[in-house]
C-alpha cells in the first residue's frame, strides 16, 4: 500500500505541475563552461547514459544538468534551469534536448544544446506554448521525431523540434519513452491505471501494452537499444522493477534492492547489459546484467 500511495503521489505531482507556468522564456547560458564537483543529486527528472562511455551518466534535475563520471558527481556548468524533459541525441554525444522551466520562472519550450549541456538554443515554443514538456522523448532511431505531452495533449515534431503539431488530445502521460528500433513506437506511463500505453503510428492512437501491468501506475520505462524486446519498468502492481523479454507482452519482477520508487532507467547504448536507475530519493543504481540485479552507487540525501 505504501508503494502504491507513493507512486500515485509522484505521478500526480509530475502531471499537475505542468499547468502552472506559462511566461516568456529565453535560452540559458553557462557563465563557467566546466564541470563543478558536487556531493548529491537533487530532484532528479531524467537520466541518460553517455554514448561513448558506460561509466558516464547525465542526470537532468530541478537545479540543472549533472554528470556522474567514473564515480564522481559534477554539475555541468553554472546553469540551474529545471530540465523536466530530457533526451540525448542517439549518435552525437555532445547534443542534448530538453524542456521544462528556466531558473527565473516560466516555460522553456523545446531546446537543444550542441556543447554537452553548457549552453542551450530554443528551437520551438511548441503548440500553445512556450511548452514545458514534463513528458518528452526524442526517437533514438530518428531524432527528427520528437514527442511531448503538454496541457493534456500529445505533440509531435518530425523535423527535429523546429515545428510541433498536436496529434492526440485523449492520452494522459507522465513520461514518454521512444522505442529503440521504431521511430513511430512510443510508450507512455499512464496515470489512469492502464500501466503502459503504446502508440505504433507516431502518437495518433494509443492502447494498453500489456494486461500484466494494469491496473496500476508505472514509471521508469526503458527500451534496450540493442534489442527492443528487452524492456524495464517500475510497476505499482508488481511492487517493484519488472522486465520484459517479449517487447512488453509479459513481465517478471527482478531483484528489488531500491530505496524508493524508480522514476527513470536508462540503458547504455555502448553496452546494453549496463543499465542505470534513479529513484525518487535521488539514489542512483547500476546493473551490469541487463537489469536483473542492481547495486547502489550514489545514496540519496533528504532534501
Where do the domains of the chain lie, and which CATH numbers do they carry? 2-298 (2.130.10.10)
Q: What is the DSSP string of 138-153?
A: E-SS-TT-EEEEETTE
Is the pLDDT reported for residue 5 higher than 60? no
Q: What is the pLDDT of residue 27?
A: 58
Entry field: residues in the chain: 303
Identify any residues that bridge with 147 across adjacent strands, giving them in sequence order: 137, 156
Integer Cα distance of 143 and 138 in angstroms = 6
Closest CA to 216 of 199, 186, 232, 196: 196
Is the pLDDT reported for residue 25 higher than 60? no
Is 79 in a helix, a strand, or coil? Answer: coil
Residue 245 contacts residue 200 (beta carbons within 8 Å): no
Higher pLDDT, 145 or 7: 145
Q: What is the mean pLDDT of residues 285-291?
A: 97
Is the pLDDT reported for residue 150 higher than 90? yes
Residue 32 contacts residue 79 (beta carbons within 8 Å): no
Q: What is the pLDDT of residue 302?
A: 65
Q: How confident is the model at residue 13 (pLDDT cuts 50, 70, 90)?
A: very low
Grid cell 562511455 — which residue?
Answer: 53
Residue 56, Ramachandran bin (φ over 0: left; ψ between -120 and 50: alpha; else beta): beta
Is the pLDDT reported for residue 191 higher than 90? no
Is the pLDDT reported for residue 11 higher than 80? no
Could you report the per-residue pLDDT of 209-267, keeping only the tens digit for each?
999 999 999 999 999 999 999 999 999 999 999 999 999 999 999 987 899 999 999 99
Could you report the per-residue pLDDT of 65-96, keeping only the tens digit for each?
999 998 999 999 998 999 999 999 999 999 99
Is the pLDDT reported for residue 23 higher than 50? no
Integer Cα distance of 52 and 223 in angstroms = 18
Integer Cα distance of 301 and 34 in angstroms = 24
Residue 63 contacts residue 43 (beta carbons within 8 Å): yes
Q: How confident is the model at residue 7 (pLDDT cuts 50, 70, 90)?
A: low
Q: What is the pLDDT of residue 6?
A: 46
Amino acid at each position: 500500500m505504501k508503494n502504491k500511495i507513493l507512486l500515485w503521489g509522484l505521478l500526480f505531482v509530475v502531471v499537475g505541475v505542468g499547468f502552472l507556468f506559462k511566461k516568456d522564456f529565453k535560452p540559458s547560458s553557462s557563465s563557467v563552461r566546466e564541470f563543478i564537483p558536487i556531493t548529491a543529486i537533487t530532484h532528479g527528472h531524467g537520466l541518460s547514459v553517455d554514448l561513448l562511455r558506460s561509466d558516464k551518466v547525465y542526470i537532468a534535475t530541478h537545479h540543472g544538468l549533472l554528470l556522474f563520471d567514473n564515480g564522481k558527481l559534477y554539475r555541468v556548468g553554472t546553469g540551474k534551469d529545471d530540465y523536466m524533459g530530457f533526451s540525448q541525441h542517439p549518435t552525437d554525444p555532445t547534443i542534448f534536448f530538453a524542456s521544462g522551466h528556466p531558473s527565473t520562472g516560466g516555460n522553456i519550450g523545446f531546446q537543444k544544446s550542441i556543447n554537452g549541456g553548457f549552453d542551450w538554443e530554443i528551437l520551438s515554443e511548441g503548440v500553445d506554448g512556450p511548452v514545458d514538456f514534463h513528458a518528452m522523448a526524442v526517437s533514438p532511431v530518428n531524432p527528427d521525431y520528437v514527442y511531448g505531452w503538454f496541457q493534456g495533449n500529445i505533440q509531435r515534431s518530425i523535423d527535429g523540434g523546429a515545428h510541433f503539431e498536436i496529434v492526440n488530445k485523449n492520452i494522459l502521460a507522465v513520461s514518454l519513452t521512444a522505442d529503440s528500433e521504431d521511430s513511430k513506437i512510443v510508450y507512455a506511463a499512464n496515470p489512469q491505471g492502464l500501466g503502459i500505453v503504446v502508440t505504433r503510428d507516431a502518437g495518433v492512437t494509443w492502447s494498453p501494452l500489456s494486461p500484466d501491468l494494469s491496473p496500476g501506475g508505472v514509471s521508469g520505462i526503458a527500451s534496450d537499444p540493442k534489442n527492443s524486446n528487452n524492456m524495464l519498468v517500475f510497476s505499482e502492481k508488481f511492487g517493484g522493477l519488472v522486465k520484459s523479454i517479449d517487447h512488453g507482452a509479459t513481465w517478471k519482477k527482478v531483484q528489488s534492492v531500491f530505496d524508493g520508487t524508480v522514476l527513470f532507467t536508462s540503458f547504455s547504448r555502448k553496452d546494453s547489459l549496463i543499465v542505470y536507475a534513479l529513484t525518487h530519493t535521488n539514489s542512483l543504481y547500476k546493473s551490469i546484467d541487463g537489469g536483473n540485479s542492481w547495486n547502489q552507487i550514489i545514496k540519496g540525501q533528504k532534501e
